[in-house]
Structure 1
Amino acid sequence: MSEYSLKTSKCSLLPLRVILVFFVSLVALYICYLCMNQITVEKNARDALFTIRKAENLCPHNIRPEEIQYMHFPQPRTYNRSGSGWFETLLNSHPNVSSNGEIFSIKARRADSSSIMKTLDTVYNLDWLSSAAKNECVAAFGLKWMLNQGLMDHQKEILTYFKAKGVSLIFLFRRNLLRRFISVLANDYDRQEKQLNGTHKAHVHSREEAEILARFRPIINTATLISNLSDAEKAIADCLQYYSSIRHIILYYEDIINNQDALSRVQEFLRLPIRKLVSHQVKIHTRPLSEQVINWKDVLKTLNETQYDHFLNHVDYYS
């Protein structure tokens, strides 16, 4: 097996690299944008009035006119290696959802607050072009936004923007931060080694590819392990505290895997017709934790009888 020290990946020590999959599927006033011929909005000092002329062929969801003002732009937010890519493919399998991916991974789009607002405006005006964009019946649209992509650097401006636009947030976390940490190390290793025919893949669509990537086992630096887990917890808590005033829902990766009701709850949150959501991605790490780390005995010794010892035997995947 390959050995890969934590020291080779300084970025994975940053708290902002944790999995906070903060997913932003923004829905608001454009809820029936291409499902209706015309939406006329008249505003007075206190109320917004919506006059709607329906087309002959409506979208499959039924939204009462008086509810439209409460619709939102959902935005998924996440940490690295929390299952955010998989979750986004599930969302995009719904015929009325367009989530446009990790658009703030490009630094120019998050260079400053004005760049961020300009990018968000493009998404909210339905002018963003991506493979996920749907041309009709879009009820929820948005993007995936990681914590280390300017989200926590321009909090005040982003919070004001979200409130003004009626944005709703989907927070995606992973309960077992130790499993997430191992996944981060494995992903960083493949980014360097490109094990699949010279190509780095954070997500795979075949069992054969998943098995190749799963062969790698890292050596975890136990001297910094507890502080890494603590930093991850703090980053999650800080983000939740700051954005808690925005309409939101909190999801956990493990719950989505093991409880189909979790996806129904997401669709209800987005006020969508309930559909079976599917993804062609294949999970990479399915083995017990003891088989995923070379120095597992050292990890056991480090975390035993600490606040993190419940991660050692926690199972997040049932085959």
Structure 2
Amino acid sequence: MHRPRSFSHFGRAAYNLIFPPPWHDLSQRWLYRKTNCVWKLVFLVFLGSCGIYMCMSGTEKQLPQYRAVLPHPMSKAGALCLKNDVPVVKYRYYPQPLTFNRKECKCTPVQRFVVFSMQRTGSGWFEALLNSHPNLSSHGEIFSVEKRRENIKRIKKNLDNLYNLDWISSASKNECTAAVGFKWMFNQGLMEYKGEIATYLKQNHVSVIFLFRRNILGRYVSILANVFDREKKQLNGTHRAHVHSKEEADLLAAYKPIVNLTSLIPYMERIEQIMMDAQLTFNGTRHMILFYEDLMKRPSALKRVQKFLHLPFEELESKHVKIHTLPLSEQVENWKEVSEHLKGTKYESFIY
């Protein structure tokens, strides 16, 4: 590069710093540059060490929180289950009970469910069938106890305990449970807090089974007979809603109630309204509708239930003995008046 022909004193000094004249001692200049590079290297190593230390310190502070949300180590079988069940994985979860250890079944996914029903629709028999499955636990009418349903906070707490497998009863299958649920009658706080409960079920991916009885008249006759036995206690001074022998069933079936014609149709209309309201309220949940009559006549109905709950198929059985086996015409004392009263109405089909 050529030097300019004229320089100010300051300009020449600055220029000489950048372009030292050839007569300067070059060895001193290269010594300076070599020393400068060494210091730069030392400075970079220092900065790198500081950065690594800060990163490691920050990671150590975060590790406990991260480990807290890590899932439990999963076996190959559990990983395979997850891999194979991707389409339905949101309806399964892996509980970590506080009251026991799931041991080798800790990677077994659990399906949460609830059976919505009414009294005298075969719900006790249906639940007994479900509990005969080796991997299913259905804990009965947990909200028949008023204290458990006194407010929505208490209801949610009980639901959390049950679905985390911390609800211990005779139905508990403990560590190898693959489906857990219970029966919930519409008159046990369910419709009182229906909005909040519907939200809870959807958020927690709880599957709903509606169990209804098509013939509302048959259900009403069963209620009247059950009320009579509750008062009279025909079986050795005890009341039995369900029986396990033919002799007991025959004794209870001998009673023929008299149906009040004035209140019959309004009663059936009210029951229909409750059923429709429940279906509309919980329509946003994963659900299925099951009828008592189908359970009685179609063995495939139980296969549908097991498929719905993602369970391996089993032949389900119950020790319950059906009480009323005769046609309705032989169960009601004033049947002739009842049949005449319902003819020409939308309930006429129930009398045949």
TM-score band w.r.t. shorter chain: 0.7 to 0.9
Give yes or no for contact 1:77–1:169 (8 Å, CA) kept in 2: yes
Q: 1:64 is matched with which residue?
A: 84
**Residue pairs, 1:42-61, within 5 angstroms:** 53-54=74-75
Q: 2:205 is matched with which residue?
A: 166
1:115 is aligned to 2:135? no
Give yes or no for contact 2:342–2:348 (8 Å, CA) kept in 1: yes
1:142 is aligned to 2:181? yes
Aligned to 1:302, the other structure's residue is in SS state: helix
Relative to the length of structure 2, the TM-score reads: 0.72
**Residue pairs, 1:201-212, within 5 angstroms:** 201-212=240-251
Shift of 1:55: 7.1
1:288 is aligned to 2:322? no
Give yes or no for contact 1:52–1:65 (8 Å, CA) kept in 2: no
Q: 1:81 is matched with which residue?
A: 120
Aligned to 2:325, the other structure's residue is in SS state: coil
Distance 1:105 1:255, change over 3 A: same
Q: 1:183 is matched with which residue?
A: 222
Aligned to 2:174, the other structure's residue is in SS state: coil
Paired amino acid for 1:69: K
Aligned to 1:249, the other structure's residue is in SS state: strand
1:156 is aligned to 2:195? yes
Relative to the length of structure 1, the TM-score reads: 0.79
**Residue pairs, 1:200-279, within 5 angstroms:** 200-279=239-318
Aligned to 1:189, the other structure's residue is in SS state: helix
Q: 1:127 is matched with which residue?
A: 166
Structure of larger gyration radius: 2
Distance 1:253 1:63, change over 3 A: farther
Q: Spell out structure 1 runs of 4+ moving beyond 4 A.
A: 40-43
1:56-108 Cα shifts (integer Å, max 9, x gaps) = 8x8xx997263433324111111110000000000000011000001100000
Shift of 1:234: 0.6
Between 1 and 2, higher relative CO (CA 8 Å, sep ≥ 6) is seen in 1
Higher helix proportion: 2
Shift of 1:136: 3.0
Shift of 1:131: 0.4
Paired amino acid for 1:64: N
Distance 1:312 1:65, change over 3 A: closer
Higher mean alpha-carbon deviation, 138-147 vs 117-126, is at 117-126
Shift of 1:52: 5.9
- Take 1:109 and 1:138, find their aligned partners in 2: how far apart are those partners? 24
Shift of 1:54: 2.1
Distance 1:232 1:41, change over 3 A: farther
Structure 2 runs not aligned, ≥5 long = 1-66, 93-110
Distance 1:302 1:162, change over 3 A: same
Paired amino acid for 1:310: S
- Take 2:190 and 2:83, find their aligned partners in 1: how far apart are those partners? 31
Shift of 1:42: 6.3
1:253-284 Cα shifts (integer Å, max 9, x gaps) = 00011000000000000001011000000000
Structure 1 runs not aligned, ≥5 long = 1-39, 44-49, 314-319
- Take 1:115 and 1:51, find their aligned partners in 2: how far apart are those partners? 29
